[in-house]
Structure formats: C-alpha cells, structure tokens
Structure 1
Amino acid sequence: MVKELVVLRNKIDLLDTKLLKILAKRLALVKKIGIVKNIYGLPVYIPEREKYLIESKKKEAQKIGISPYLIEDILNRIIYESYLNEKEKGFKKLNPNFKKILIIGGKGKMGNLFRKMLIMSGYIVNILDKRDWENNDNINNLFLNVEMIIISVPISSFNDVISKLPILSKNCILIDVTSIKNMPMKKMLEKHKGPVLGLHPMFSPENNILARQLILYCNGRNPESYHWFLKQMQIWGVKLQCINSIEHDNYMAFIQSLRYFTTLVYGFFLLKQNIKLKKLLMFSTPIYYIDLILLGKFFSQDSKLYTEIIMSSHNNIKNIKKYLHNINYIFSLIKKGNKAEIINIFNKVKILFKNHILYSKIECDKILRYINNN
C-alpha cells in the first residue's frame, strides 16, 4: 500500500476518535439538559431552538467550505439521539394530584405507547384488554377512582367498548385515539357527561420518541379539564393541532383512507404482475425509489388496522367511486389518443401544486435525505 495513503488514513482515524469523544461529551450535556427540563416541565422538542441550531451551523459550515447539507444531516441525527437521551430521564408530572388512568386496549401498540409515556411522567396507569373484560366478573372495580380513560381499540370494536362502560365520575376525562373522530366523539359525548377529548396520533406507535410527532385533537366537552394533559403531551415533544371532528374526517378521507386504498391497489397490481422488486429498484429514479420505499413501509404495517381505516370512512366509498370515475375518464382519453386533453389536465393539476406545494430542488434533496436517514 502507498505509504502516503497509510499516513493520511491514520490521521483520519485519529480525527474520527476525537469526533467520538466530542459526541460523547455532547450527549453527556444533553442528559443534564434532560434533568433540567424534567425539573421545570419543559418540552423535549422546542422547534425554534432546533431551527436556530441547524440554520446557524449551516451558515458556519458554508463559511469554512463544508457542505451545509452535510452538517444538516449530521445535526439531525445527533438531535434525534439527543431526544433519546433526554427521554431516559423521564418527564415532569404536570398534574401531581392526578390519581389513576385506565387505558382500554392498553396491550395494543398505541395503547401501550401511551401507557409507557404516562408511566415515564409519573402517573399510575392500569390497562384493560379484551381478554380482561371477558374474564373479569368484577370489571366495575377497575373503574373505581379512575380520573382518565383512554380508549385505544380498533374502530370496529369502539361501539362495543362504549356500550360496556359503566357510569363514570363527572370529573373523569374520556379520551379516544381512533383514526376517525366524528362518530367516536358523538358516542363518547352521549355516553359520558364529563370531559371528552378526541386524539388522532399521526405516527406509528413503534416510534422510539415522540419529539416532532403530530397529534391532532378534537375538543369535546370541558377542555379546561384536560388542558394539562395537552401540555403533558407537549412535554413529550409532541406537536398538537386542533381541528373539529367533521373537518378532521373530511381531510382524513384524502390523507389516509383514499391514499391507503390507492396504495393497496398499486401493491396488489405489482403482485399480480409478478414484478421482481429487486430489478424495479435497480432501474428506478430517486423519486420512484421513494415511492417504492413508502409502498414497502405501508405493507409492513398492521394489515387489520389499515383495512379498518380504508373501510371505516363513510366518505371513502364516495371518494373511491369518484376516483375510479376519473381513472376511467383518463383511460378513455388514452384509448382515443386525445393527447391535448391529457396535457390540459396535467397543466391544471400543475397549477394546483404550484400555488400550494412548490418544492425547490434543495427541498426535494432534503426530503430524499430525510427518507434515507429514517
């Protein structure tokens, strides 16, 4: 081997060792920050601080001839690891006098995630699952002194769970975490006369941390009673967005139900064509490669859950019919060789996206890097 190459590589190895030691020192400081945040009840995720940190270091990098996007990638990964370290210290309990929380469906993935986060925040949490309900003659005892009930069950089981609930204390907070909101909110408000809150976590329950993750929430009744709980979730790092239940379901019909339907159909089509995915990936452009990654992630999820989401939306059947009508219309244009009308449709849709979601090449590259890192 060339002597000069060995010398240079040895120098790189020394620098890499120094980098590791610097990272270890940084993570040690992060743990101390986690303790301070715990004491004062500060959120794990502070978007303004994160944005300032990344943008300022990108500018510094550019001044000394380092790619700002390299630094952005490195910092994003370091920040993610920092959130994991902060999480180990637990979270401040915002409502110290709160007694007991019951999670119905707490053995499921999402219910178990809420259970872990609440326990890490110092709350007493019990769980009630389907088998417990069927095999427990003194089920009502589980509801004694319960001040919050979180229902985390499949949509198909929701009505059955609501019907089995005993009369709850007027101060008990009743919450659901289903992917549709209008029907569950109505059922909870009919059943319970106390505080009611609807949550829709817009992330997989397999996430290690909740920093940067989005939860949509719908106010039901007596929001002042559960305002502290919304703050508690923000301490976990969650981003919250308020929306009414009808608007929620209208948008979810496009964001989830219809999109999942089209993804299911496309995946099924590939299956029936006996496509070799390895070659498909080999010949793909980066954009289509992203499509295939997202397709693979979709089919790695819980099939029962996603089938329920597709089938539970009342708007989805109407939307699917309209979608199929549009497919047939464009197909008819292709059969007729009507290029002019297809170009016209293309340009109209282009205007829609240009006015609302215009990504520059830099932003597209950022999305590509994010997907590669996650």
Structure 2
Amino acid sequence: TSLKEAPVRAMLEATRGSVVGTHPMFGPSVHTLQGQRVVLCRARGEAWADWVAHTLTARGLVITETSPAQHDRAMAVVQVLTHFQTQVLGLTLARLGIPLTETMPFTSPAYLLELYVAARHFAQDPGLYGPIEMRNPRTGDVTTAFGGAVQELAAVIGEGDQAAFTRLFEEVRAFFGDFTAEALIQSSFLIDRIVERS
C-alpha cells in the first residue's frame, strides 16, 4: 500500500507472526525489475525481513529501509504532491477550452514531456489515485502549501514584478542545489529520446 503507519499497525495487532511493510515504487507496467525501488518497513521478525530484503535485492531491486512514519512523510511529497500537481495541470488544461490538438503543432519538447506524464496519469484508475491522496495524514499540509505557492506566484506574475519573480526563482534554485545539474542532463536525455521518436 502507499501508506505504512496504519497498515503495519493493523498487521502487528492482527497476528503474532513476522511483519514487514513493503511498498514497490513502480506500477505493473514496468518492463524490468532491475533498478526499481521497493521500500521496506521492518516491524517484527528480523529473519523474515532479512529474507525479503535479500530476495528482492537478488532480483535487481533497490531496497530503501525506513520507518512507517518516515515512509508516509516521504509519500506525502513523492506521491501526493506529484499526483496532485499532475491533476491540477490536467484539470486546468481540460477547462481552458483550448483543444489539445490545437497546441500540438506548437509543442516544445518540455511541454510534450509534461503532457505525456499528465496523460499517463489520467489513462489509469482514479480508484488508485484517490486513496493515495485522500488517506495520507499529511495531504492537507501538501495541498495547503501548493495552494499558497499558486496564489503567491500568480500575484507576482499578475503584478509583473520581475524582482519578486527572480527572488522566488532563486529560492527554489537554492532548494534544488546541485540536483539542477543532474536534472538538466537527465531531462535533456529524455527530451532527445522523445524528439527522436516523434
């Protein structure tokens, strides 16, 4: 499941057996397990937890071990924020009244990459994404922060305040730090592959 605190607690209460919470960070459509991530939350029974970790690692998966609380905190960003912003983008596009086909002849590689991510999201089951976002105990913090950021940035752009825009831009750049260099390389690789296939 996409949450670990409540499920691990329920498993511990329901049995005296070994308990390990797992969360594969990939869906059923992946073409290989090599390099895919799985989160493990040890709860009871080191021998079986060791067996699970060894079995998954032996098949090429990358294991991250953490507590259920830290897992759920991370999922508030990795899943809730990511899916929420994708849904906001999709909902905005759907309500602007500009047909998708009208924008395609003008698409930049970055816009196309965003469209692929958003359309992939909406090609799947809302019954999967709803609970991921609705049941995380930190969802309210994420959606409130997102709404505040939208309002702040919209006000800066609406006022045409380049100095304030630059301050916000630099604040985020500082947050990303050295990851920006890696992001340029990796996103350029993805963009090149998309352009090659077009």
**TM-score interval for Structure 1 and Structure 2 normalised by the shorter chain:** 0.7 to 0.9
Name the residue aligned to 2:105. 282
> Runs of 5+ in structure 2 lacking a partner?
none
Letter in 2 for 1:345: L
2:29 is aligned with what amino acid? Answer: E
Higher RCO, 1 vs 2 (CA within 8 Å, ≥6 residues apart): 2
Correspondences of 1:163-312 after superposition (within 5 Å): 178-312=1-135
Rounded Cα–Cα distance in structure 2 between residues aligned with 1:229 and 1:340: 53
Segments of structure 1 that go 5 or more residues without pairing to the other structure are 1-177
State how 1:76-225 maps to structure 2 within 5 Å.
Answer: 178-225=1-48
> For the structure 1 residues 229 and 362, does the alpha-carbon distance in structure 2 shift closer, same or farther, using more than 3 Å as the test?
closer
Q: C-alpha distance in 1, partners of 2:120/2:57?
A: 27
C-alpha contact 2:40 2:65 (8 A) present in aligned 1: yes
Question: Residues of 2 paired with 1:215 and 1:327: CA distance?
Answer: 32
Post-superposition CA distance 1:219-243 (Å, at most 9, x none) = 1111222322322222332221112
- Does the C-alpha gap of structure 1 residues 322 and 364 become closer, same or farther in structure 2, counting only changes over 3 Å? closer
SS of aligned partner of 1:358: helix
Distance 1:285 1:256, change over 3 A: same
Q: Secondary structure at the match of 1:219?
A: strand
Residue 173 of structure 2 aligns with which residue?
350
The aligned amino acid for 1:274 is G
How far does the alpha carbon of each residue in 1:12-58 deviate from its partner, in whole angstroms, 9 at most, with x for none?
xxxxxxxxxxxxxxxxxxxxxxxxxxxxxxxxxxxxxxxxxxxxxxx
2:152 pairs, out of 329, 332, 335, with 329
The letter for the 2-side match of 1:314 is P
C-alpha displacement of 1:188: 1.2
- What's the offset of the Cα at 1:332? 2.5
CA separation of 1:235 and 1:324: change in aligned 2, threshold 3 A:
same
Aligned length: 196
Give the counterpart letter for 1:227 in structure 2.
Answer: D
User: Residue 188 of structure 2 is aligned with which of 365, 370, 374?
Assistant: 365
* Alpha-carbon distance in 2 for matches of 1:353, 1:286: 22
Letter in 2 for 1:268: L
- Normalising to structure 1: TM-score of the pair? 0.49
Displacement of 1:316:
0.8
Q: Distance between the aligned counterparts of 1:252 and 1:323, measured in 2?
A: 15
The equivalent residue for 1:140 is none
* Distance change (3 Å), C-alpha of 1:357 and 1:220: farther
Query: Percent identical across equivalent pairs?
Result: 27
TM-score, reference length from structure 2 = 0.88
Aligned mates of 1:189, 1:269 — CA distance in 2: 43
Distance 1:364 1:335, change over 3 A: closer
Q: How far 1:266 sits from its partner (Å)?
A: 1.3
Q: Deviations over 1:60-116 (max 9, x none)?
A: xxxxxxxxxxxxxxxxxxxxxxxxxxxxxxxxxxxxxxxxxxxxxxxxxxxxxxxxx
Greater gyration radius:
1
C-alpha change, 1:281 and 1:332, in structure 2 (3 Å) is same
SS of the residue 1:314 aligns to: coil
Letter in 2 for 1:300: A
